[in-house]
Amino acid sequence: MTDSDYQPLYTNFSSRTLPTVGLLLAWATGICVSAARGVEIKIAGQAAVLMETRGGKILWQRNQNLYLAPDSTTKILTALVVLERSNAGDIVTIPAEAARATGGTVRLQTGERLSVEQLLYGMMLGSANDAAIALAIHAGGSVEKFVGLMNDKARSLGALRSSFRNPTGLPQKGHVTTARDLAMITRAALANVEFRKIVAAKNLPWKSAKWQDELKNSNVLLKTYHGAIGIKTGQTSEAGFCLVAAAARGEESFIAVILKSTEKSGWQDAKKLLDHGFKNFAAK
């Protein structure tokens, strides 16, 4: 079996997830005996992972170690590093470098002052690249130093196949991750209470020097999937549609990572994986 196969991964299950007879047969034959758990999941994404959040176990994967561009899902790691090195109430003076950002922005103006918390909402709900750059310079001293911190953090989490070149996710040569690495980074981010609060917000009023409006979370699962707790989308012509989604019901929670998909298919891919987790792996 190779990374290119669709693979359910079922190792080290306790007696609550397989009947005793089934365990004995599985040990004897090396075959998973649960038809429900062995069902193939057809997804459009080029790479995908389903992870159980509490233990970090990969329950299903397709091409989990394939190097792909992550686009704005990069901002999950950016937010995590910022939250570990800053206080939400810290005030950031927007540098000119941030005000020059391209792509999605919240139209930040050089010299205006906003809190770290405001900028995190701008970055995660509005996918604002100017907010990401301002936060990176605030937390790291410069974008270059902050990117070093991002890669150090990724390695410390065991995300060893990733190479981040910027805090925004904009296309850049060598800026790659994998579905497995992104799931590991997301699991660590979800352990942060402030991060969970931000990514679960469906919308937020926004006011800065040049722009006033409402930020709307692009994660439609927050409105359409029972137990959804948010995370992040991303989309460029190079990366395709990328989605990191998570849902919690009771004590169980799962993370679904979809890379290189289409927008229409990506949402369905995530629902299929999350459904698979709650149906076959949640405690009864």
Catalytic entry in 4, 15, 72, 237? 72
Catalytic entry in 86, 127, 218, 253? 127
DSSP secondary structure string, 148-191? Answer: HHHHHHHHHTT-TT-B---SS----TT-BB-HHHHHHHHHHHHT
The CA distance from 77 to 229, in Å, is 17
User: What are the distances in angstroms from CA 33 to CA 16, 25, 36, 73, 276?
Assistant: 15, 7, 9, 36, 16
72 is a catalytic site residue: yes
Token pair 């409402």 is at which residue? 214
Catalytic entry in 75, 153, 260, 272? 75
127 is a catalytic site residue: yes
Q: Can you read off the two tokens belonging to residue 81?
A: 């590093």
How many C-beta atoms lie closer than 10 Å to residue 240's C-beta? 22
218 is a catalytic site residue: no
The CA distance from 215 to 198, in Å, is 12
List residues with catalytic annotation: 72, 75, 127
